[in-house]
Chain A
Amino acid sequence: MNGTSAPAAVPPQPLHITPAEVISEFSHHHPSVARINNGGFGCCPSSLISFQRQIQMQWLRQPDEFFFNQIQPGMLRSRNVIKDLINTDHVDEVSIVDNASTAVSIVLQHMAWGFAEGRFHPGDATVMFHCAYGSVKKSVEAYFVRAGGSVIEVPLPFPLNSEDEIVQEFRQALEKAKQSNRRVRLAIFDHVTCMPSVVIPVKELVTICREAGVDHIFIDGAHGIGCVDVDMKQIGADFYTSNLHKWMFCPPSAAFLYCRRSSESSSLHHLVVTHEYGNGLARESTWIGTRDYSAQLVVPEVLEFVNRFEGGIDGIKRRNHDGVVEMGMMLAKAWGTHLGCPPHMCSSMVMVGLPACLGVLSDEHTWKLRTYLRDKFGVEVSIYYRPPKDGEVGPLTGYTRISYQVYNKVDDYYKFRDAINQLVHDAFTCASLPNS
Chain B
Amino acid sequence: MQHEDPRNGESVHRGSKKSKLSSKFITESDIRDEFSHHHPSVARINNGSFGSCPGSVLTAQRHLQMQFLRQPDAFYFNTLRDGITASRKIIKDLINADHVDEVSLVDNATTAAAIVLQRIGRSFAEGKFQKNDTVLMLHCAFQAVKKSIQAYVTRAGGSVIEVRLPFPVNSEEEIISEFKKSIEEGKSNGRKIRLAIIDHITSMPSVVIPVKELVRICREEGIEQVFVDAAHAIGSVKVDVKEVGADFYVSNLHKWFFCPPSVAFLYCKKSASSSDLHHPVVSHEYGNGLPIESAWIGTRDYSSQLVVPAVLEFVNRFEGGIDGIMKRNHDEVVKMGKMLAESWGTNLGSPPEMSPAMIMVGLPSRMCLNSEEDAVTLRSHLRDHYDVEVPIFHQVSKDGEEGVRDKDGFITGYVRISHQVYNTLEDYEKLRDAINQLVEDGKTCKMLYKE
Contacts and interface: CB of A to CB of B under 8 A. Distances in A.
Contact of B278 (A65, A112, A142, A252): A142
Interface in A223-278: 243, 245-246, 251-253, 269, 271-275, 277-278
17 contacts: A41-B72, A44-B69, A62-B42, A64-B46, A64-B389, A102-B297, A113-B155, A141-B286, A243-B299, A253-B300, A273-B148, A273-B152, A277-B147, A289-B107, A289-B108, A289-B110, A374-B74
Interface of A: 28-30, 33, 35, 37, 40-44, 49, 57, 59-65, 67-68, 98-102, 104-105, 108-109, 112-113, 116, 134-135, 138-139, 141-143, 147, 243, 245-246, 251-253, 269, 271-275, 277-278, 288-292, 295, 371, 374, 380
Contacts of A40: 72-73
Contacts of B287: 138
A253 B299 contact: yes
A195 to B, nearest CB: 12
A126 B282 CA distance: 17
Contacts of B42: 62
Nearest to A271: B280
A141 B389 CA distance: 47
Among A30, A101, A374, which residue has the most Cβ atoms of chain B within 10 A? A101
B144 A273 contact: yes
B284 A380 contact: no
Given A101-B297, A142-B278, A292-B301, A28 B151 contact: no
A33 B284 contact: no
B260 interface: yes
Nearest to B71: A30
B156 interface: yes
A43 B125 CA distance: 42
B53 interface: yes
B278 to A, nearest CB: 7
A41 B73 contact: yes
A275 B143 CA distance: 6
B447 interface: no
A124 to B, nearest CB: 15
Nearest to A116: B125
Nearest to B252: A290
Q: In the A-B complex, list the 3 residue pairs whose CB atoms are closest, starting with the nearest.
A: A289-B110, A101-B298, A134-B284
Interface string B277-312: 010111110110000000001111100100000000
Contacts of A108: 282
Interface of B: 37-39, 42, 44, 46, 49-53, 58, 66, 68-74, 76-77, 107-111, 113-114, 117-118, 125, 143-144, 147-148, 150-152, 155-156, 252, 254, 260-262, 278, 280-284, 286-287, 297-301, 304, 380, 383, 389
Contacts of A290: 50-51, 108, 110, 252, 254, 261-262
B298 to A, nearest CB: 3
Contacts of B286: 135, 138-139, 141-142
Contact of B284 (A65, A109, A138, A269): A138
Contact of B298 (A44, A65, A100, A271): A100
Contact of B282 (A63, A65, A105, A246): A105
A243 B300 CA distance: 11
B53 A60 contact: yes
Contacts of A43: 69
Nearest to B149: A273
A371 B77 CA distance: 9
B255 to A, nearest CB: 8
Given A41-B72, A61-B37, A291-B107, A102 B151 contact: no
A40 B298 CA distance: 11
